[in-house]
Amino acid sequence: MNKKTVVGIDPSTNGHGVAEYQDGKLVHLSKMRRNEIIEKYRFNSDVIFSIEELRTASHLDASKSGFNKKVDMKKMFNIGMCKQAMVELVQDLEHYNMPYITHKRCSTWKGDRGSESRKESDKKQFAMATGWDGRSNADTRSAAYFGFIQSRR
């Protein structure tokens, strides 16, 4: 009997955050390049990818200040790079007939913004919900969130 595998992905240009769930249990967190993801899961017919949707992101989502044009331009550039990374991943998944679903952007469990208490709260919530006690970072926790919501369906 094959296990149902859900792979949560937080797209990024410097390696995607990846979280693997087997039958609803988080079993692996890592950063992986697009080709590594495809090679690892390409022949697993019981896998579905659960990906953060970035194609609709705008610079307004990332920039609240609007006061520093140089900073805003850098943020827009970085968002564009992440959008492209997501587009390329989705194209590969479609090419290999690998099923995926996208989810609205969300910062749950990411813990990379806000006060230190908010960051710690996000990490604790992540650990309580998933049972994960290993290492994690903002990208892998974000990937874990998208995998978590799909694995509960």
Question: Which helix H or strand E contains 148, and what residues bound it?
Answer: helix 138-151
Q: Which of the four pLDDT bands, split at 50, 70 and 90, describes residue 16? A: very high
Alpha-carbon 83 to chain mean position? 12
Q: What is the pLDDT of residues 94-123, one digit of tens each?
A: 999 999 999 998 878 876 666 777 778 888
Q: What is the CATH number of the domain that holds 141?
A: 3.30.420
**Three-class secondary structure of residue 51 per DSSP:** strand
Strands 100-103 and 47-52: parallel
Handedness of CA 44, 45, 48, 49 (dihedral sign): positive
Residue type, 36: E
Q: Which of the four pLDDT bands, split at 50, 70 and 90, describes residue 141? A: very high
Q: Which of the four pLDDT bands, split at 50, 70 and 90, describes residue 1? A: very low
Tokens encoding 143: 């990937």
Q: How many domains does the chain have?
A: 1
Give me the domain span that covers residue 29.
5-151
Interatomic CA distance for residues 82 and 78, integer angstroms: 6
CB contact at 8 A, 108 and 122 = yes
**50-43-10 Cα angle (round to 5):** 25
- Which residue in the block uniquely carries the two structure tokens 């919501």? 149
| 130-143 mean pLDDT | 92
In the chain, % of residues over pLDDT 90: 59
This prediction's pTM: 0.86
Interatomic CA distance for residues 43 and 2, integer angstroms: 13
What integer pLDDT is reported at residue 30 of this predicted model? 97
Q: Which of the four pLDDT bands, split at 50, 70 and 90, describes residue 75? A: confident
